[in-house]
Amino acid sequence: MSFILPMAKTYSGGTIMQSIIFKQFYQDSQQYELLLNEILNSTFDSEKGDGFHVIEATSEYIKAVYYYEISYSQSIYNPETGEIEEIKLKRIETVPFFIDHQRHTLDILGNKVKCTRIIEAIGKITKYKTSIADLYINPIKALIACAAAGIQYKVNKVRINDYVFFDDIIGNCVLNLSNYSKTEELLKKYETQIVSFSTTLLLEETYSVVFYKSGAISVYKGFDDIDIEFIRTLKLGL
């Protein structure tokens, strides 16, 4: 059995677009402390097939990565026999996440499959005594809250369905708002028709973010460069 193990920083996902999924995750202070200890003691084990790596941990939040193995087969050509052979391999998948004790959320970078895996892993170490529920981020509310909090942002492009170009001409379009000064008014006006919009958030770091009508959020940033301040800024839309 062979392993394909990522380099030390491949869990960050580089600067590719990453989805962020938010879950409600309430724990009291004692439960949080016990969970942190369990995560710290559950490092990756090849025999067990999964484990955690904690990057930061405070009384307010945990920033960590969950690793788990995936087994699969691959066909290769054997030049000695002239035949195609199947070999068994293992790949290590990574799930970066935050546990925000102050805001009572579990914030996961990844798709729905990875989200399910980390929820199951946390369920096991908490003996399924803590409930985890879906959360919806309202993108317009998030931007309005950013403005109220004095956080600078710039909306770049907005994708709108059923936009009325002329009296009898309706279609889908993408509006470039990079140099438009009344973006908040436009977003409110077309809120029910907006499919997605891209924006730049100016915190200590600059973040390129795409908000979707469904509540999904994507960010162009590696996990190493994502901090709790940015994650909490997105949650202003709750």
Does 123 share its domain with 51? yes
pLDDT at 15: 60
The H or E element containing residue 207 is strand 206-212
Does 178 share its domain with 150? yes
Residue labelled with tokens 């901090």: 227
Does 7 share its domain with 111? yes
Q: Pull the structure tokens for residue 197.
A: 């919009």
Write the Ramachandran bin of 16: left for phi over 0, alpha for psi from -120 to 50, otherwise beta.
Answer: beta
Please identify, among 134, 169, 189, the residue that sits at the C-terminal boundary of a domain.
134
Residue 105 belongs to some domain of the structure: yes
- Residue 73 phi/psi, 5-degree rounding, is -110, 150
**Of 221, 216, 158, nearest in space to 186 by CA:** 158
* Cβ atoms 130, 140 nearer than 8 A: no
State pLDDT tens for residues 129-160: 888 999 999 999 999 899 899 999 999 999 99
- Residue 108 phi/psi, 5-degree rounding, is -115, 130
State pLDDT tens for residues 32-91: 999 999 999 999 988 899 999 999 999 999 999 999 999 888 889 888 888 898 889 889
Does 189 share its domain with 128? no
Whether the CA torsion 22, 27, 28, 32 is positive or negative: it is: negative
pLDDT at 82: 87
Domains of the chain: total = 2
Q: CA–CA separation, 190 vs 159, rounded Å?
A: 10
Does 210 share its domain with 145? yes
* Cβ atoms 137, 146 nearer than 8 A: no
The H or E element containing residue 194 is strand 194-202
Please identify, among 134, 165, 185, the residue that sits at the C-terminal boundary of a domain.
134
Model confidence at 11, pLDDT cuts 50, 70, 90, reads very low
Does 104 share its domain with 79? yes
| Domain of 161, in residue numbers | 139-214
Q: CA–CA separation, 150 vs 43, rounded Å?
A: 40
Whole-prediction pTM: 0.86
